[in-house]
Structure 1
Amino acid sequence: MSQRLNEIIKNLAKKMKRHPRTVLTWYDDAGGLFLDKEQILIKVDGFAASRSKYPWCSYKDFGFKAVTATVSDVYAKGCRPYIYAVSIGVTPDKVDLIEDIIRGVEEAVDLYGGYIENIDTNVGMDLWIDVFALALCKYLPIPRRILVGDAVVLVNKVGLTSIAYNEYIKGKTPRDVDVLNTSCKPTVSLNLVNAIDVIRPAIVGSIDISDTVYESLEHISSLNNAGIYINATASELLHPKAVCYAYEEGIDMRSMFLFANEEYTPILVIDEAYIDYVIGNLRYYGFDVQIIGTGTSLKEVRWRGEEVKKFMWSYELGKVVEI
C-alpha cells in the first residue's frame, strides 16, 4: 500500500498547481516561497493515535507531539514557526479528549513560539490530529539536497526511540525516564534554529528524522540520484543508553540506529570545506554532533561498503518493517 501511495503522490505532483515563486521541490519536507519580499515556509503534519501514540502516553502528550513533528520540519529548514492551525478528529466515545489534546498543543506552542489562529474539530472512526504552520525564514529554506563529497552530519545522537519501540513490540512499558519522555513528549531544541542561522552558508541540505533514520537517509539519497556512504561506527551515532540496551538485548547496533524513529532531530548535509566550522558551532550550541558519512555517486545507502537493512515505517501496519 505504501508503494502505491507514493506512486499516486508522484503522479499528483506532476499536475499540481504550485506558486510561481516556490523555492522547494514537491517532495521536500515543506513548501517554501517568496511572498512580498518575505521568505515563507508552509508545513502541515499529522498522524492518527492508533499509529503514533504509545499506550503509556497521554492525549495531552499526543497534542504536544503533533506540534513538535511540525516544528521539527520547520527548524530543519532553518525557519521559525509563526502561525498555527490545528485540525483534531475524535471518535464519538472520546469527544472529551479534545480538551486534553488542545492543552498539549498549547503547551508546545508556548514552548516553540508563535500563535494559534484556528482550530477545527471533527468526529470520525479514528482519533487524529493535523498541525499546519506558517513559518518565517531569515535565509532561503534549506532543501533536501546532497552532492558527492558532502559530509552527512547527525545533529544529536539517537536511539532512545529505538528502546521505546522495542519495549512496545515486547508488550512492555519502558522504565527509563528519558525513554518515556522521548517517546511521549519529544522536543526540538530551541537552540537549533539559532545554530543553523550561524552555519547556514555551509549547509547544502537537511531532513528531519520523523520516520526512521534509514528513511531519512534514503529520501535524501533517492531525491538527488546520489548515495550515502556511512563511515561512522554505530556506537558513535547512538545515545549511550541505546548502546547499553542493544548490548543487553542482543540487538545489532546498526539496526538500532537505522530503525530509530520520530527522533525529531535533523540530519544536515554540509559542504566538506566547512565541516570543522560547523561541528565547532553546533557543539558550542550544545549539540552532540557526529559525522555519519559522505555523499557518493553510488545511488544507495551503504555502511562501510555493505548493504544496510532497510527499516521503514509502515503506515498501514502501524509499525517499523524491514523491506
Structure 2
Amino acid sequence: MKITSEDELIKLILKYLDKEEFGERLSPGDDARDIIPRSLRIMFTIDGYSIESARLPWRSLRDVAFSILTGSASDLVSKGAIPYGFMISIGISRQWTKDMIIKLYEGFREACKEYGCRLLGGDTNKSSDPWITVAGIGFSTAAHPPRRDGARPGDIIVVTGYYGAMGIIALDGIDTASRLDWVKEYTKRPRIHVHLANIIASYSKVVHASMDVSDGLSYTLYTMAHESNVCFRLNDLPMCHEELKDYCKGDQKCILERIMYGGEEYGVVLAIDPKYIEKFTNELKDYGIPYKIVGKVVKCEEGEVYYHNRPLTIYRWDQIRGWTQL
C-alpha cells in the first residue's frame, strides 16, 4: 500500500520510536528530543547513505537498516563511547510503500535492541534516489578519547574483527560473491562489539589512536599513519574468515588483498602503548572480542603502511568515485 501523505508516513514511523524516559520532557514527534546525560563526556556522529548502494542483493530492507545503524554505532565505539540513541532522516521516492517503511524501521529497532540503544526521532523527505542519514549520540567515561592522528613510534597496532568477505565483493564482484554462502552470511548484517567501548575508555590514556574500519582496512591504516606522521610496519594480518583461506587456496597475495580492500567490517584499528598491550589484550579476551596484533608504529615522515617491509597499495571506498587507489 502506497503512502499518501507525509503525516501518514510520520504516524507510521512514530510507532517505532522510543518513548521518553524518567526525567525527559520531550516525546517522539516533538520538534526536538531531550535526554539526561549518562556521563560527563558526550560524543556524537552522523553518517549518510544511499539506500541503493547499501542494498546488496542478499540484504533485505531490514538488513540494510541494521547495517546502516551498525556503521554509526561503530564510530562511537571506536572512540570509547557506548551508543545511546539515534536520530534518523530518510528520503524516499513515491514508489515506496508502507510495508517498505515497516521493514526499514524494524531493522533499525533490531539493531537498537542488539546494541542496547534508543531510536529517538528524525525527519522525512522525498527523493528520487532514496537515502538515509543517521545521527548518533553516545556517552563515555574516557579521560582522553583516542584521536585518529595520535599514533606514536613504538606503539603496538591491534586490529579487532574479522576480514575478507567484503573484500571478495569489492575485488571479485557481486556475481562471484552471491555464489558464496559464507560471504552472504558475513556481510548480510555486520556486527560490532559494544563492550570494546568500555575497554577503550578504561585505557584511553594509553590507546594513543583509534579508527573504525568502514572504508577498507588499508585506508584506515593509511589514514592513521599519515595523519600521525608515522609509519605502520605490519608483520601479520588481522583475523580473517577461515573460508577465505580455502577460497584463495592458500595464496597469500589473494588473502592479503581481500583482507585489506574490503569495507564495512566495522572492526577497530588501535595504536597502543607497548607497556599496556598485555593488559589491553587480556580485556579483549575476557569480552570475547576477536583481535590480532599486526605490527608496530615506527618513526618516519612518509606516513606509509608497510607489510613485510614492502609498501602497501592503498584503496578506499569513496562515496563519490567508488573504489579508488590513493
| Structure-1-length-normalised TM-score | 0.81
Aligned to 1:27: none
Q: Structure 1 pair 266/221, CA: closer, same or farther in 2 (3 Å)?
A: same
SS in 2 for 1:55: coil
What is the root-mean-square deviation in Å for CA atoms of aligned residues? Answer: 2.4
Displacement, 1:95? 4.3
Letter in 1 for 2:65: G
Percent identity (aligned): 25
Which protein has the larger Cα radius of gyration, Structure 1 or Structure 2? 2
For 1:77-226, list aligned pairs within 5 A: 77-96=79-98, 97-140=100-143, 141-144=145-148, 145-166=150-171, 168-170=173-175, 172-177=177-182, 179-226=183-230
Q: How far apart, in 1, do the equivalents of 2:251 and 2:125 lie? A: 42
Could you report, residue by residue, the CA deviation over 1:49-94 in whole angstroms, capped at 9, with x for unpaired residues?
Answer: 2322212211111111111001001111111122210011122212
User: How far apart are 1:48 and its partner, in Å?
Assistant: 0.6
Aligned-pair CA distance for 1:156: 2.5
One-letter code of the match for 2:266?
Answer: Y
Runs of 4+ in 1 over 4 A off after TM superposition: 248-251
Q: Is the 8 A contact 2:86 2:118 kept in 1?
A: yes
CA deviation digits over 1:9-58, x for unaligned, max 9?
xxxxxxxxxxxxxxxxxxxxxxxxxx998211011112112322212211
TM alignment of 1:1-323, pairs within 5 A:
38-96=40-98, 97-140=100-143, 141-144=145-148, 145-166=150-171, 168-170=173-175, 172-177=177-182, 179-232=183-236, 234=237, 237-247=239-249, 252-298=254-300, 299-318=303-322, 320-323=323-326
Render the CA deviation track for 1:140-196: whole Å, top value 9, x for unaligned: 32221201111110122322222344454445514324x323312111123322333
Aligned residues: 285
Change (3 A) 1:250 1:227: closer
Judge which range, 211-220 or 247-256, deviates more: 247-256
Task: Give the C-alpha shift of residue 272 in structure 1.
Answer: 1.1
Alpha-carbon contact 1:199-1:281 (below 8 Å) kept: no
Q: Is the 8 A contact 1:88 1:98 kept in 2?
A: no
Task: Report the alpha carbon displacement of residue 280 of structure 1 after superposing the two structures with TM.
Answer: 1.9
The whole-number CA distance in structure 2 between the counterparts of 1:76 and 1:250 is: 29
The whole-number CA distance in structure 2 between the counterparts of 1:151 and 1:286 is: 20
Distance 2:278 2:170 in 1: 34
Q: TM-score, normalised by structure 2?
A: 0.80
Structure 1: 5+ residue stretches without partners: 1-34
**CA deviation after TM superposition for structure 1 residue 248, in Å:** 7.0
Higher mean Cα deviation, 264-273 or 290-299?
Answer: 290-299
Measured in 2, the distance between the counterparts of 1:269 and 1:156 equals: 15
The residue identity in structure 2 corresponding to 1:53 is R
* Number of the residue aligned with 1:25: none
**Letter of the aligned partner of 2:211 in structure 1?**
I
Render the CA deviation track for 1:295-319: whole Å, top value 9, x for unaligned.
Answer: 122321111221112121132344x
Q: Distance in 1 between matches of 2:104 and 2:248?
A: 33
Partners in 2 of 1:69 and 1:279 — Cα distance?
A: 24
Q: Distance in 2 between matches of 1:228 and 1:167?
A: 27
Which one-letter code corresponds to 2:297 in the other structure? Answer: G
How has the CA–CA distance of structure 1 residues 166 and 220 changed in structure 2, closer, same or farther, with 3 Å as cutoff?
A: same
The whole-number CA distance in structure 1 between the counterparts of 2:131 and 2:200 is: 32
